[in-house]
Amino acid sequence: MKQTALIEAHRRAGAKLVDFAGWEMPLHYGSQLEEHHQVRRDAGMFDVSHMLAVDLTGDKATALLRYLLANDVAKLEVPGSALYSCMLNPGGGVLDDLIVYLLGAGRYRLVVNAGTAEQDLAWLSAQARPYAVDIASRRDLAIVAVQGPNARAKTWQALPQVRAPTEAMKSFSAASVEEYFIARTGYTGEDGFEIVLPAARAQALWQALAAQGVTPAGLGARDTLRLEAGMNLYGQDMDESVTPLECGLAWTVALKGEREFIGKAALLQAEPQRHRIGLVLLDKGVLRAHQCVKTPAGDGEITSGGFSPTMNRSLALARVPRAVTAGQQVEVMVRDQLLRARVVDPPFVRNGQVLIKENS
């Protein structure tokens, strides 16, 4: 298995290590529940170095990305600005979801998922040939996510030199400060930073954050946090067989205008029969991926599900017939029993606040 630069820090902290997309990663450090609450209430840090930063450079880098991505990088006008997008196949299916940052004229950074990194690089390289764009896989870099209501303040305590350049930084933007590339982004529904830095410096950053009371958190808490925040997980909530229009990501697709991009023609012709919803379980049990959702309009399927520590109940994201809307009651097959669930519009929790009303 591959290991990140922080593997020894995880071992010293007593992490339960598991195989995730071929990487030896911490599932938790003793209590997934406590790590979840720490992020919602204070600050936690995640090693996300298994994800891959890819740097693109060249006069035609903008043209390449405008063709490659469903969202339009022409929206990025100021260095440091960021955009969330899907990369599609010709049929409109999602090859990966990613964040793209504008570094400067003809210079971009993509951060892609660990499980799709190699196929993403191959796809990028194939599409880049006519554009003469240089593509650099940055495995020399580590990525640490610091998330929670106190995440930014504790990062500034650990790295005082980054405060001035990042204090006024808006969400979905980034700044380069010395050896650090600091983005105000995340995957938890909380404020915070994702910090890209040389892998050789990752241990020192981890220790500096820990000294300020930032608690290590593993993949388990990351998954329950992102589920509460209504954020998709690639490979579960979408893949090459699913279009952005079917998984709650239509807002990331810039269909208007003359720009051509891979998958656009398929999306323009598509008439999606399914869409993404949220579910709150009303009966006792736990919602899990692949469980069948029974609705008056036909069957659907849970794509992500689990127990919500913040709401103290089971939640799910599901793909169901388009006629199913928020406020309806449906049934989910859980261990050969049909349990009642209420349809809601995700997200469920953001910035520490429960957004779903009991009667919504």
User: d(Cα 114, Cα 108) in Å, to the nearest integer?
Assistant: 19
Q: For residue range 43-53, what is the model confidence (pLDDT) as tens digits?
A: 999 999 999 99
Q: For residue range 75-118, what is the model confidence (pLDDT) as tens digits?
A: 999 999 999 999 999 999 999 999 999 999 999 999 999 999 99
Q: How far, CA to CA in Å, does 153 sit from each of 48, 157, 166, 191, 220? A: 20, 6, 11, 11, 25
Count of other CB atoms within 10 angstroms of residue 79 = 15
DSSP 358: T
The CATH T-level fold of domain 273-354 is: Elongation Factor Tu (Ef-tu); domain 3 (2.40.30)
User: d(Cα 123, Cα 125) in Å, to the nearest integer?
Assistant: 5
Domain boundaries, the chain: 273-354
Q: Are 193 and 214 in contact (CB under 8 A)?
A: no
Query: Hey, what amino acid is at 165?
Result: P
User: d(Cα 289, Cα 244) in Å, to the nearest integer?
Assistant: 19
| H helix count then E strand count, the chain | 9, 21
Helices (H), the chain: 7-12, 32-41, 61-68, 117-128, 151-158, 163-166, 202-211, 219-228, 264-269
Count of other CB atoms within 10 angstroms of residue 223 = 19
Q: Are 7 and 279 in contact (CB under 8 A)?
A: no
Report the DSSP pairing between strands 298-308 and 353-354: unpaired
User: d(Cα 95, Cα 240) in Å, to the nearest integer?
Assistant: 5
Q: For residues 264-280, give the mean pLDDT.
A: 97
pLDDT band per the 50, 70, 90 thresholds, residue 360: very low
